Structure 1
Amino acid sequence: MNQNNKFSSLFNYFDQFQKLNPKAEEALGNICREVHILKNKDLQSIGHTCRTIYFVKKGMARIYYYKDGTEITESFAFENSLIARVESLFTGKPSKKGIQVLEDSDFIGISSPSLFELYDSYPEIERLFRKIFEAAYVETVNRLESIQFHSAEERYRDLLKTSPDILQRVPLKHIASYLGITQVSLSRIRAKY
Structure 2
Amino acid sequence: MSEYTITTFLETAIYPLFDLTDTEEQILRSETKIVTLNKESLLIKENMIANDLFFIDRGLIRSFYHKDYREINTEFFFENDFFTALTSFLTGEKTRLNFQCLEPSEIIVIPKALIDNLLLQDQKWHLLLNRILKKEFIKKCRRESSFLLCDSNERYLSFLEQFPLSESRIPLFHIASYLGISPETLSRIRSKKINQIDISQVHKI
> What is the CA RMSD across the aligned residues, in angstroms?
1.9
Question: Is 1:21 the equivalent of 2:11?
Answer: no
Match of 2:173, as an amino acid? K
8 A Cα contact 2:34 2:109, kept in partner: yes
The 1:122/1:30 distance shift into structure 2, 3 A limit, reads: farther
Measured in 1, the distance between the counterparts of 2:33 and 2:108 equals 6
Question: Is 1:139 the equivalent of 2:106?
Answer: no
Name the structure 2 match of 1:157: 157
Any runs of at least 4 consecutive aligned residues in structure 1 with deviations exceeding 4 A, and if so which?
A: none
**What displacement does 1:43 show?**
1.4
Aligned length: 191
Measured in 2, the distance between the counterparts of 1:130 and 1:148 equals 27
Measured in 1, the distance between the counterparts of 2:129 and 2:26 equals 16
**What displacement does 1:14 show?**
2.3
The 1:120/1:170 distance shift into structure 2, 3 A limit, reads: same
Name the structure 2 match of 1:63: 63
**What displacement does 1:190 show?**
0.6
Name the larger-Rg structure.
Answer: 2
Match of 1:184, as an amino acid? E
SS at match of 1:80: coil
Match of 1:42, as an amino acid? L
Match of 1:33, as an amino acid? K
**What displacement does 1:17 show?**
5.7
8 A Cα contact 1:48 1:94, kept in partner: yes
Name the structure 2 match of 1:176: 176
**What displacement does 1:4 show?**
5.4
Unaligned runs of 5+ in 2: 194-205
Deviations 1:131-187 (A, max 9, x none): 321222122212211221122211211222232221111111110000110001100
Name the structure 1 match of 2:6: 7
Identity among equivalent positions (%) equals 28
